[in-house]
Amino acid sequence: MAETKTTVTVRALERGDFDQWLALWDGYLAFYREQLTTQMTRHSFERLSGGEAQMHGLVAVVDGQLGGFAHLVVHPKTWSTAPDCYLEDLFVAGAHRGGVTSKALIEATYAKAREQGCDRVYWRTQQFNGRARSFYDQVGQLTSSVIYEHELD
């Protein structure tokens, strides 16, 4: 369901946002069937809310409440002197999906990346996440890259 016409403000994640952010974070983790310890969740929040220079948390405020977030990691790369911005996590609460909140978070991500001197923003999603992929097709370019992973002990 697309959200109704509303005003969205995107700003930096602040330490006082923890409770509202946590509700969104829990929804995000549930969607991907992931579980993190309370300690890891708190550590991630601290880094995203100003504790680490390469990590940035953005939140969408809708009617005074957090309606979504974007978590960014800015990192150097070998193919350019400009850093990349990895959009590691993007989540919008169900009532706000498919509308201005998602678009506002993406646009704010692009703006933050430019501010950080990046020349590219990239992200990944699950192949089965059709709804998100439909949106991403409108705001980004699908690449031919294939991702491999190996968990380290």
pLDDT, tens digit (0-9, with 9 covering 90-100), for 36-93: 999 999 999 999 998 788 999 999 999 999 999 999 999 999 999 999 999 999 999 9
Side-chain half-sphere exposure of 108, counting CA atoms within 13 A: 24
pLDDT of residue 52: 83
pLDDT grade for 5, boundaries at 50, 70 and 90: low
* Phi, then psi, of 109 in degrees rounded to 5: -60, -45
pLDDT of residue 2: 52
* Phi, then psi, of 18 in degrees rounded to 5: -50, -50
Are 71 and 89 a contacting pair, CB within 8 Å? yes
pLDDT grade for 99, boundaries at 50, 70 and 90: confident
pTM: 0.91
Rounded Cα distance, 103 and 137, in Å: 12
